[in-house]
Structure 1
Amino acid sequence: MNDQERQAELRRLDMTLEEIEKQLLISDKDCYTQEAELRASLQSYWDYGGSNAVDEAQLVETVDRQRALTAVTHGTAQKLRKMINSPYFGRIDFIEETPGYQEQTEQIYIGISTLTHKETGEFLVYDWRAPVSGMFYDFGLGKAWYNCPAGIINGSITLKRQYKITNRHMEYMFNADWKIDDEVLQEILGKSADDKMHTIVNSIQREQNQIVRDETHRALFVEGPAGSGKTSVALHRIAFLLYRDRDKITSKNILILSPNHLFSDYVSNVLPELGEENVPQMTFQDYVSQSAANLSLQFETRSAHLEHIFASSDDEASQIRSAGIRFKSSGIFDQALQEYLNWIQTSLVNEYPDIEVQGEIIFTQNDWKHYFLDSYSTMPVTIRLEKIRELIQIRMRPFVHALREEKEAALIAGDEEVNEKVIKAMARIQARQQLQPLIDKVDRLTSLNPLEEYRRLYSKNSRLIQFLANKLPAKWHAIRKQSLAFMNQGILPYEDIPPFLYFQGILQGFAAKPDIKHLVIDEAQDYTSLQYKIMVNLFPNSSWTVVGDPAQTLHPFLHTAPFNTASTIINIEKQFMVRLTRSYRSTKQIQDFCQSLLPYKTEVEPINRPGPLPTVCFAETPEESSEMLLKTIRQHIADGWNSIGIICKSTAESEMLFAELKDHIRHLQLVTSEDDQFPRGIVIMPSYLAKGLEFDAVLVINVDESNYNRTEERHILYTICTRALHRLNLFYQGKISPFISQLDKALYK
């Protein structure tokens, strides 16, 4: 790039900034005018009042219209303000090669939002989501094409250029060829981490872009190693869908299912940075809390459950619990539950008796089957039974009225000195008393409590046992006794929550959310088959983006659903599975160390960003361990690393360490709740809250044999270590974890 080109680029930047300033001035003025008109309309109404419903309707219409205009103008102003500091980050020169079309080079500048010249209508900046902008991510110099409403447009890219513009100042620009240049990635990835995740719009890679812009499939399953950008891709895909389908959906029609609220807070900046409103986020625990609101049992929370599992010993009760978790999340239990529910839906009333009133049958066995299995068969079981109860009550009415009249006649014949009202009331009471056994019988036959029905699954002679036959686990009787003991104490164990909620939903009906048109599931490797089945029923009109990494499965005993199983459960046409293989988070040295922790070799291509080897530090005493920690933390601070994650296995360990260090480190923070906000700086937290987060430096505490010994704990250690961007330090006393002692010594210092 010669000096003449550089000067031309600087003039182009000045012209773009000038146009943004002009449009921003107009937009701000329009906002002020529209707000003034809105206030005037409201004031006029209050001053003079509306005398009738027509006046009020006109006012509402006027206010709604003015509010809508104000919202649009405010949105325009907000986008312009985002653009003014950095209006674009890339450029391609494209020559369209369409027959009959005069070949000419079009300069396409690409940024966060579209900018057109107010007077000429010329495109000054194209939104990164526009069809033509996709070529910036997908092609190098030479032949290229893009798909738009008019069809496929073929041509050639003759120039590809990248920029870094900060606070309206051109920091650098350079020509690139095939991909977003590694220099840009190295600069971005080499920085200190912030307290929030940020957009990667200027560094999206080709394989990521294809996921973001996929328009063919209704269900995308994205698997990839830690740091491959799965969450970023999912968030940028949301922004793309909001742009592409802006006439059909809004941010309210999209939902992110996050692992916890801490993670939700961490990713909350990305969509606003892309000029879109944040979409609703919820956790599976939120759904659990809503479902448990009117139940007599308290549901065990995910955090409390994981804390119990991570801190538990190998005593008999813990072994029974772990066996129960494995079994209740297994395909065998799932299948038996389905068979039991099918039995309820098809055979519950098979042996129900005739309903007889005063010697006359008003509801036969065939009636039970007809209405339960035919007329009301599309309804949930509890609704079917309620409808049948109403039908029986209708058929009982003539007998009830006749009985009341009989009782009234007897009371009158008895010459009791009471008035007519009293006689009628007494007759009604007597008739009710006489029919009470029948009323109770009908209520009993037409009532089904999902919680009580679920509790019966663990009874000694449960019908579930018949469906399981010879597939019962060795510890079944101990598992069922422990499960009943929990429920008798008023607690539904965490491992029983998905089975129960699915059980309840099938019997009572799910509180479906048909307005959700797209669902994003993050950390999807932690979900069981029954959780996916619940979500299919909750979001019947949704397309899906499902992202996860099997290597980061956190729960040591839970059988989670692999993507091929989830795909079968979701069961919609046009599904696609893709695996990202390149990891952008950690240095090569940290990446090599983490991959070696896994029991199998995975296809991971680390970005060539060098750094020091991870360190593994042994301390003889707790005092020496504390000194080592403090020294390491102070060194990281001196080196300019602002974000330091001190990760323990459990909350109990985190609280103990915080008590030791809080007087020695300024602004040290402890995070132990899923509802906390993601903090900036130096933080101590348990392993299960670190999922999806990243830190400049990660200090892993107590990597000894007692903490990380069981095969199931290998993935926990891997997940913790993969949180590190630039520095990784592990500390232990006593005997080191076999997962580390078995590693090649060249991988760490």
Structure 2
Amino acid sequence: MPAGQTAPTDHPPDPVLRAEQDHLLESRAALGRMRTTTAGLTAQGADRLATEHLKQVLHRRMLSLQDDPAVPLFFGRLDYAADLGAEHDETLYVGRRHITGEAGGEPLVIDWRAGMALPFYRARPADPMHVRRRRRFGFSTGALTAYEDEDLAGGAGASGTGSAILQAEIERPRTGPMRDIVATIQPEQDVIVRAGLDSSVCVQGAPGTGKTAVGLHRAAFLLYAYREQLGRSGVLVVGPNASFLSYIGDVLPALGEIDAAQATVESMLADATGLVVRATESAARARLKGDARLAEVVRRAAWGHLAPASGTLVLPRGIHQWRVPAYLADEVVAELRARGVRYEAGRAMLAQRLAHQVLLRMEAAGDSPDDRVQGAVARSREVKAYVSSLWPALDPAKLVLRLLTDADLLAAAADGLLSAEEQAELLASRPGKTPRTARWTLADLALVDEVTDVLSRTPSLGHVVLDEAQDLSPMMLRAVGRRASTGSMTVLGDLAQATTPWAVGAWDDALAHLGQPEAVVTELVEGFRVPGLVIDYAARLLPVIAPTLTPPRSVRHSAGELDLRRTDDPLAGLLAAVQADLAQEGTVGVVVPDARIAEVAAALGTSGVAYDLLGEAGDFGTDAAPRVDLVPATLVKGLEFDHVVLLEPAELVAAEADEVTGLRRLYVCLTRAVTSLVVVHTHDLPGALD
């Protein structure tokens, strides 16, 4: 049991708690001094550009030093011992950021990512890692309330999820956006978090295993351990939708990291292509457009524009006319193709190579041209026109439009790859006539991005975190993967939660499409969020939706609450369940089939329940921050609520393209609850749940 339990106060009666609270107050004062010192610095570089860079550095430093009194500055303590192999006896406090004291710059708190903090997560009696005692702290609204010691040298005390403080943190209600798990990271999670920048990892995580948090904490660790390198190359977090990004948006800033960009696949592709998704399409067509074979189709379509020389290049300069014969021009084109250069790079090189051939003829005639002459020749009207006849300039969006509307172009590019029926399916999409007015779909944008990469190499970031990766098509995976072509990735997902018709069915396939075939796949099955009753009930679906996966198991002490309510009036049953949940602590997620949103929204409004509608801006309730979220089933993935009320599972399953996809969607919806799940239904439940 935690020692020294007491009410939160600045002067706890327990002398140990009092000493630790004094250290907390000293640390908070030191953090304030660090921020004041930073605020007083003046950015003055050698020139205007350097000055602006310094201003940005100072601004980011100020943001990283922000103090939230409700968040404890440290959550653990390590007592290193010389007789256990440490250099000397030393006490270190572990927190979210490094805090330095005034005297001699001694650390009052060390960053959880520092090497010296590693034993807090991985030390055990069999391997104490030079630490005699590990202490965990309990907090309430930023005030220290309890402590709990583990004697690693003697093997006494609570450890792992046997820790009462750690268990209390796991059981704490989920209110607001996702919070960090820095105080509760488990050893198997920490191994993933601290994997080096040169390693790509794939985490197959059951619901509630913390895979998203692990991925975000890995990003925070990499930004700390490889700050200079990633400061240049960048970090990107890719999530399934804007609501999800909003939900996780506070995690990295809470850990002192503000330099990681966030995007959805749609926003990433829209920014890259300059196009906007304006339409949806049938599952069959979207699946076809997302097929990896389309990568070769668009590559052929682009390179198929190269044409053999139809005549001699003639360049008049002064009284001379310099000629490059057609056969020689074709040889230059063939040599460039053999080098494997990108389309636009080859086009630029072709102009220079032709200009070089002209200079060779000038030299043979007794002239002495230099590089400036070659550059002028390459830019000449005659050379540019000749290059365009051999190697025409292409626009990615226009090429995709032509591919989806020109039967002859598609047939030539898809020969041996797509059947006649598949080609007809693509031609039936008819997105439009111009890139500006076309009704682009998300699958179309992935095709445009593929063409863009054929033309010019996509710049690579240092690290990409991809969440809910199981839902992406091969073409979408390729689009994300090329953003890390020279970097590494953290790939997160759960094959049992794959709910798109174009989803990849195996991690080996997904990693191959991402360009990360060597990534290590790790499976997390211990659930820290979903209570036992709920996860065991949802796991009944696994033999149908993901028979190869290990069933998850909950490590929470609370079994949670599961209530299956059959009723002739589902809306009345839903409202009764919501009112009962509002009488308890925590958030309430009302998860309903998308087609029922308007109906349930009207019922909630009529009954006076304040709520937010997920996926739309604005507050639909009467309170500033309603505890109830109305969530379409298609947007609930990745979110969590203390209490979940789920309406009509059978309708939810029937709304999907096939039964397996529908059951996977149901599995997602069933596993969003942290404390209680109420299933309200009139129709029979799916057979797998009986």
Query: Structure 2 length normalisation: TM-score?
Result: 0.79
Q: Could you say which structure has the larger radius of gyration?
A: 1
Residue number in structure 2 paired with 1:381: 343
How far apart are 1:138 and its partner, in Å?
Answer: 0.9
Distance 1:669 1:217 in 2: 42
**Contact 1:670-1:683 within 8 A present in 2 as well:** yes
Q: Which amino acid aligns with 2:520?
A: F
Change (3 A) 1:637 1:477: same
Distance 1:250 1:213 in 2: 18
Please tell me whether residue 552 in structure 1 is matched to residue 497 in structure 2.
yes
Please tell me whether residue 276 in structure 1 is matched to residue 257 in structure 2.
yes
Q: Deviations over 1:99-155 (max 9, x none)?
A: 8x88x643333222334442255444332212121112112224333xxxxxxxxx3
Matches for 1:636-715 after TM superposition, within 5 Å: 636-641=581-586, 643-650=587-594, 652-673=595-616, 681-704=627-650, 706-707=654-655, 710-715=659-664
Q: Deviations over 1:659-706 (max 9, x none)?
A: 333121332222334999997521222222222111112222332354
SS of corresponding position for 1:369: helix
Distance 1:662 1:13 in 2: 48
How far apart are 1:390 and its partner, in Å?
Answer: 8.9
Please tell me whether residue 299 in structure 1 is matched to residue 282 in structure 2.
no
Residue number in structure 1 paired with 2:296: 338
**Contact 1:648-1:654 within 8 A present in 2 as well:** yes
Q: Deviations over 1:183-208 (max 9, x none)?
A: 33432233322111111111111101
2:184 to 191, 200, 203: 203
Residue number in structure 2 paired with 1:10: 17
Bigger fraction of residues in helix: 1
Please tell me whether residue 588 in structure 1 is matched to residue 532 in structure 2.
yes
How far apart are 1:212 and its partner, in Å?
Answer: 1.0
SS of corresponding position for 2:475: helix
Matches for 1:209-288 after TM superposition, within 5 Å: 209-215=190-196, 217-250=198-231, 253-277=234-258, 279-288=260-269
Change (3 A) 1:688 1:681: same
Please tell me whether residue 479 in structure 1 is matched to residue 436 in structure 2.
no
Change (3 A) 1:540 1:441: closer
Deviates more, 1:584-593 or 1:188-197: 188-197
Residue number in structure 2 paired with 1:370: 331
Residue number in structure 2 paired with 1:528: 473
**Contact 2:64-2:256 within 8 A present in 1 as well:** no
Change (3 A) 1:365 1:390: same
Q: Deviations over 1:634-673 (max 9, x none)?
A: 01101233x22222332x4313321333121332222334
2:565 to 617, 641, 644: 617
**Contact 1:242-1:251 within 8 A present in 2 as well:** no
Matches for 1:121-132 after TM superposition, within 5 Å: 121-132=105-116
Please tell me whether residue 93 in structure 1 is matched to residue 79 in structure 2.
yes
Residue number in structure 1 paired with 2:284: 323
Residue number in structure 2 paired with 1:563: 507
Distance 1:66 1:351 in 2: 53
Q: Which amino acid aligns with 1:509?
A: S
Q: Deviations over 1:138-185 (max 9, x none)?
A: 12224333xxxxxxxxx3x43232211345643122234442535334
**Contact 1:137-1:206 within 8 A present in 2 as well:** yes
Change (3 A) 1:278 1:61: closer
Residue number in structure 2 paired with 1:499: 447
Change (3 A) 1:206 1:83: farther
Distance 1:693 1:272 in 2: 19
How far apart are 1:6 and its partner, in Å?
Answer: 9.3
Q: Which amino acid aligns with 2:668?
A: T
Distance 2:54 2:289 in 1: 55
Q: Which amino acid aligns with 2:30?
A: Q
Change (3 A) 1:28 1:185: closer
Change (3 A) 1:135 1:646: same
How far apart are 1:451 and its partner, in Å?
Answer: 3.8
Change (3 A) 1:142 1:732: closer
Residue number in structure 2 paired with 1:114: 98
Q: Deviations over 1:394-432 (max 9, x none)?
A: 999xxxxxxxxxxxxxxxxxxxxxxxxxxxxxxxxxxx9
Distance 1:510 1:720 in 2: 40
**Contact 1:164-1:171 within 8 A present in 2 as well:** yes
How far apart are 1:537 and its partner, in Å?
Answer: 3.1
Please tell me whether residue 353 in structure 1 is matched to residue 327 in structure 2.
no
Q: Which amino acid aligns with 1:732?
A: H
Distance 2:646 2:54 in 1: 55
Change (3 A) 1:113 1:551: same
**Contact 1:17-1:84 within 8 A present in 2 as well:** no
**Contact 2:466-2:492 within 8 A present in 1 as well:** yes
Q: Which amino acid aligns with 1:659?
A: A
What are the ranges of 5 or more consecutive residues in structure 2 without an aligned counterpart?
A: 5-11, 150-156, 316-320, 359-380
Q: Deviations over 1:316-364 (max 9, x none)?
A: xxxxx33323333334x24xx426625854x654544225779x99554
Q: Which amino acid aligns with 1:143?
A: D
Change (3 A) 1:451 1:611: same
Aligned length: 636
How far apart are 1:253 and its partner, in Å?
Answer: 2.1
Deviates more, 1:387-396 or 1:131-140: 387-396
How far apart are 1:69 and its partner, in Å?
Answer: 9.0
Distance 1:476 1:2 in 2: 68
**Contact 1:588-1:608 within 8 A present in 2 as well:** yes
Change (3 A) 1:648 1:467: same
Distance 1:700 1:586 in 2: 15
Distance 1:686 1:209 in 2: 33
Q: Which amino acid aligns with 2:529?
A: R
**Contact 1:216-1:574 within 8 A present in 2 as well:** no
Change (3 A) 1:366 1:566: farther
Change (3 A) 1:325 1:272: closer
Change (3 A) 1:107 1:712: same
Distance 1:114 1:658 in 2: 46
Distance 1:2 1:264 in 2: 38
Deviates more, 1:603-612 or 1:579-588: 603-612
